[in-house]
Amino acid sequence: MQHPNAHFMRRAIALAEKGRGAAAPNPTVGAVLVQHGQIVAEGYHTACGKPHAEIECLNDAAAKGISPENCSMYVTLEPCNHYGKTPPCSKAILEAGIKRVIIGLQDPNPKAKGGAEFLRENGVSVETGMLEEECRTLVSDFLTWIQTPYPFTTLKLASTLDGKIATRTGHSQWISGEESRKRVHELRKKVDAVIVGGGTFYADNPQLTCRLEGVERQPLAVIVTKHLPEDPAQFTLLKERPEQVIFWTNEKSALSDAASRLTSLGCLVTSLPEHEGKLDIAAGLIWLRQEKNCLYTLCEGGGKLALSLLENNLVNEFQLHMAPKIVGDHSAPDIFSGKTIATMDEALRLRIIKTELSGEDVILTLRRQEI
């Protein structure tokens, strides 16, 4: 049975989402002050280097003339207990006179944890674990950064009801509706790099740009292919922004004349290790984070690359945009390809964490079963 006051934590989670991206590499955190069963002040971590959610919440209370002493604070992540770019929030909460704090997730960062213990030792009533899984999902990007060498990777694919991503001729514009396509541009706005397989690059000649108003920075475009383009002039990306294009390929192709032509345009051609004939995408993701400071990446297919990422547990979030259309052609390309199994026990298992309508489409947000 859910806690009767869980709606306060849900509000804190919603506030935290407003800081998504700008807070990186810090976690997204939200906080609310509750007095007599009503939210009286709110705050979230707006950007890295700016005050944390708890401080924003206390500042909001001060601006409204509300004394925190008779309030409870609900916060999605354990208040920090160390001096970083800002002083410890645990100390600020204590000095504000708050007597009760409800925490969603205890801080997994060994440098910052200990706020709950500090508050308890100083007489504050502390409850932990309210909507813990939702709060863990909220900071799944932060968990990726502190626990792995990878960027946080979102896989986005669009398919028909029968799992097709194009017709047998390769025609795919458009599977999903206008509203879903806008969502893709919102995703691109938030990431540092967009990754596609060679099949998608050659078939779609994509721009891989965010075409929303007011965008100041475009994501890097990463193409994963062993076969580099011989005639760069055929491709929009290579004509319009070659200096923002990266090719991940094998050692042989990286030393080819085609690679030389691409680098002369300003592209970057990087050789990845190969294992059993497949490029090591994990090595590429590590390279993106280390060399290009990419914290968020978005993969938009195709089917073989998408399956490889999922199989190697490199997808942190999978967004499936499913259109109410049926192709009904066994020769049309499938959403995933490259695997042969004999029983359903061998199938990759995912869990749905959210479903929502997007125009006529349905967007499923999924994660690997074991995550």
Catalytic residues: 54
Residue pair 180/158 in contact by the 8 Å Cβ criterion = yes
Q: Would you list the DSSP string of 45-112?
A: --STTSPPHHHHHHHHHHHTT--GGG-EEEEEEPPP-S-SSS--HHHHHHHHT--EEEEEE----TTT
Burial (CB < 10 A; 0-12, 13-18, 19+), residue 64, is exposed
Place of tokens 């990087």: 270
R_g of the chain, CA atoms, integer Å: 23
How far is residue 228's CA from residue 248's CA, in Å, rounded to a whole number?
9
Could you tell me where the DSSP H helices lie in 241-280? 251-254, 257-265
